[in-house]
Structure 1
Amino acid sequence: MAIFISATGTDVGKSFFSALLMAKYASSLGLKYLKPIQTGNDNDRVAVMNLSGLQEAFFLKNYYSFSFAGSPHYSSELDEVEIDTDELARHLYSIRDEKIVVEGAGGILVPLTRKFLTIDLIRQSEIPLVLVAPITLGSINQTLLSIEAIQNRNVDLKGVYFIGLPDKTTDDNIRTILEWSGVKFLGSFFLSSKEIMSRERFQYECFQRFDPDLILKELFL
């Protein structure tokens, strides 16, 4: 089964989370990674590949790539390329039963066109969703709003995963979000620094601390 990875916003940690999944389970489960829409010079596909240390065979090519680092609807307009959301949704629907980590662009309400949101793509593709959420001050509001939007559209939300550099609000933020939403807790990964980890350090931390109860592994089985 494919899993769609989205978040409460940009730079929350989708690519980091995707890299954790790929590093730990790609070889044993046969996972592939797909970033359907990439905007800007930063290539998340390459970043996940570098962190995970996996060969290129595990990574599918982007469906669309745009030069400007912005919302897909605007970046595509600047490149004068129309995103065919019907075709993209059909493609994702056709691979929903394969073991693929599908990473979205930005948050769940990011527009792909002037009339089509990321969450519409998730709903039409019928791929279950994992929501990546921050853990610091302000996370309660943005996470509960995201969950409400997901639930209102009857998207299959498997749960929420928390990533970030913790502060004094972190423990209560997670507790409050879970109590108010009733959504399944899929785990957390607390960073000790904002600095980018080396591949060696990342892989050590991944296998030591990531998904110790195999909750996320079960999503692909």
Structure 2
Amino acid sequence: MSIFVTGTGTDIGKTFFCSLMMAKYAEELGLKYLKPIQTGADSDRVKIMNLTGLNESYFLKNYYTFELPASPHLASEMENTTVDTDELSRHLFSIKDAKILVEGAGGVYVPLNRYYFTADLVEQAKIPLVLVASTELGTINHTLLSIDALRKRDIKVLGVYFIGPENPLRSDNIRTIIEAAEIGLLGTFLLPERKLSRKEFLDKVVKEFDPDRILPDLLFP
């Protein structure tokens, strides 16, 4: 079963979550990674590949790649291209039974073209979803709004994974969201304070991720 990974906004931690999942479970589960639409020169696919050290065979090629680091609708327009959302949704639907982490661009309502949003794509592709959320100030509003928008479309939300630095609001933010939304908590992870080498990431960070190994059964039963 493929899983769509989205966030409550940009730079929330989707790529870091995918890096952790790929590093810990790609070889064991035969898990692959796909970023359908990449905007900007800083490729998430390459970033995860370099951080995890996994062979290129675990990474599917981007469906679209645009130079401008902006929302897909604008990045594509700047290159006189339109994202074929029908074709893209059919492609994702065709791979929904494979074990693939599909990372979206930005959050739930990022436009892929002027009238079509990430939520439309996930709804049409019929892929269950993991929502990555921040632990910082403002996350209660952003996360509950995202969950509400997804549920109104009957998108299956498997749970929320929280990523962010330690702060005084962290524990209560998580508790408030989980209780208010009556949704599953997939886990939480403290962001490293500095950029890590591959060795540091694999030797320390990955070992701290999902210590009870609950995610394979929850996400890929």
The answer to whether 1:44 aligns with 2:35 is no
* Corresponding residue number in structure 2 for 1:123: 123
* Corresponding residue number in structure 1 for 2:95: 95
* Corresponding residue number in structure 1 for 2:78: 78
* Corresponding residue number in structure 2 for 1:19: 19
Instruction: Using the TM superposition, give the Cα deviation of residue 212 of structure 1 relative to its aligned residue in structure 2, in angstroms.
Output: 1.7
Moved more, 63-72 or 47-56: 47-56
Instruction: Using the TM superposition, give the Cα deviation of residue 175 of structure 1 relative to its aligned residue in structure 2, in angstroms.
Output: 0.4
Give per-residue Cα distances to partners, 1:123-173, cap 9 Å, x unaligned.
111111000000011111111111111111110000000001121100000
* Corresponding residue number in structure 2 for 1:211: 210
Give per-residue Cα distances to partners, 1:85-116, cap 9 Å, x unaligned.
00000000000000001000000110001110
Instruction: Using the TM superposition, give the Cα deviation of residue 204 of structure 1 relative to its aligned residue in structure 2, in angstroms.
Output: 2.1
Secondary structure (helix, strand or coil) at the match of 1:187 reads strand
* Corresponding residue number in structure 2 for 1:56: 56
Contact 1:51 1:199 in 2 (8 A): yes
Secondary structure (helix, strand or coil) at the match of 1:112 reads strand
Secondary structure (helix, strand or coil) at the match of 1:70 reads coil
Secondary structure (helix, strand or coil) at the match of 2:49 reads helix
* Corresponding residue number in structure 1 for 2:161: 161
State how many pairs are aligned: 220
Partner Cα separation in structure 1 for residue 203 and residue 140 of structure 2: 30
The answer to whether 1:199 aligns with 2:217 is no
- State TM-score, norm by structure 1: 0.97
Partner Cα separation in structure 2 for residue 213 and residue 95 of structure 1: 28
Contact 1:4 1:122 in 2 (8 A): yes
- State TM-score, norm by structure 2: 0.97
User: What is the identity, as a one-letter code, of the residue corresponding to 1:87?
Assistant: E
Unaligned runs of 5+ in 1: none
Root mean square deviation, CA, Å? 0.9
Partner Cα separation in structure 2 for residue 205 and residue 128 of structure 1: 30
Instruction: Using the TM superposition, give the Cα deviation of residue 191 of structure 1 relative to its aligned residue in structure 2, in angstroms.
Output: 2.0
Give per-residue Cα distances to partners, 1:173-192, cap 9 Å, x unaligned.
00000010001000011124
Identity between Structure 1 and Structure 2 (%):
56
Secondary structure (helix, strand or coil) at the match of 2:161 reads strand
Give per-residue Cα distances to partners, 1:27-78, cap 9 Å, x unaligned.
0110110000000111000001111110111000000000000000010000
The answer to whether 1:3 aligns with 2:3 is yes
